Amino acid sequence: MANLTSTQLLAAITKASGSVMGSSEFRDYEHSTLKKLLSAESEVFTNLNQLKQSDEQPTKVDLLTRIYTASGTAKAAAHAAAAFPDSFTKDITYLKKTQTFKVSYKQAANNRFGYDGILQSEIKNKLQSMYLDLSTYAIGWLDTNRSQVGADSIISFDTEVATTPADFLYPNAIGDEDYFFEYLKAVMRKNRFAGMLDVVSDQRNAARYRKLAANGISNADNTAYQLPGIDLVEEAQMSLSAKGTAYAWQKGLVGMTTWNEKVNREGSGAIGNTEGLFTTFTDPILGHSHDLHVKRGIADTSASAGNVQDIVDEYELTTIFTVQGAWESTALATPIFKFSQL
């Protein structure tokens, strides 16, 4: 079997990217939280990736502080402000998720799948593994970064560490299940978050949402009125709570972005060179670009249906990413609120 050139290899990778999710064996979650966060990238991260030039470069955002000042009651000739404006800085940390795999030329020559088929299978496996890891991180990030500061509304904000369910959330009272989303919207307005709301819900709460949506104006008890203004996704990977849990924030205030190193963005090297091939790979499901590095070597693969002198292509797929929400100067305050049904 002839060695694939860099051009042929890139063509094989492109072919593989168009065939992901083709069978029951490779079925996967919808990764609803991940997709929702990535969909807000352009709103949350304006110009951020353009500012970042290297992996080691610290990324910071400067913001002006909002300060309440009581209004006066009369004009004055010698008016003077009490203080100058203030500002604060937030650090943005980028993380990495990597997946590695390899394809043997002589294994492929002895296999009905061939090099392309094996490559496609490995890309499917590694992407789905990465999706699981990214989704786990994103769901955990929402819980870790939910606000620990909240105004009491129709539902009081729970800050008691010893309570069940966990603290720093809005627990909807027993008997108010059918008003869960109406009360959620009221809470968000009380905290001065208006407009369309993004909601990530566990399966139990998502089922309630669909039930309430089905009870429209033709029903004796119309509950669908409370759902406009809510963009809800069901996250099957969230832990299933006893009565239902959800995270909510104003659309456009929480998101996820990815970044690629310059050498990958521009493309460098070749598959047979010492440094290998640096390029990017467009994700066929989520749409962002992964950094991709491929190097070729010689290995003894005779123990794995190969040959004592085999050519092996080693792949490394990397997602460099950050999940962030709009920043506030108030300690422990974020735009993300957790809701739970008692």
Q: What residue segments make up the domains of the chain, in order of their start?
A: 1-55+94-342
Per-residue pLDDT at 21: 46
Per-residue pLDDT at 18: 47
pLDDT digits (tens, 9 = 90+) for 157-210: 998 755 555 589 999 999 999 999 999 999 999 999 999 999 999 999 999 999
> Residue 7: pLDDT above 90?
no
pLDDT digits (tens, 9 = 90+) for 199-242: 999 999 999 999 888 886 656 577 778 888 999 999 999 999 99
Per-residue pLDDT at 167: 84
Q: Please tell me the distance from the alpha carbon of residue 61 to that of residue 77, in angstroms, as a whole number.
A: 38
Give yes or no for a contact between 12 and 116, defined as CB atoms under 8 angstroms apart.
yes
Instruction: Report the share of the chain in percent with pLDDT over 70.
Output: 81
Per-residue pLDDT at 28: 86
Closest C-alpha among 267, 280, 269, 272 to residue 296? 272
Per-residue pLDDT at 212: 87
Q: Please tell me the distance from the alpha carbon of residue 205 to that of residue 130, in angstroms, as a whole number.
A: 27
The arithmetic mean of pLDDT across residues 298-317, rounded, is 91
Q: Please tell me the distance from the alpha carbon of residue 83 to that of residue 92, in angstroms, as a whole number.
A: 29
The token pair at 242 is 């006893």
> Residue 251: pLDDT above 90?
yes
> Residue 50: pLDDT above 80?
no
Per-residue pLDDT at 23: 58
The arithmetic mean of pLDDT across residues 285-304, rounded, is 92
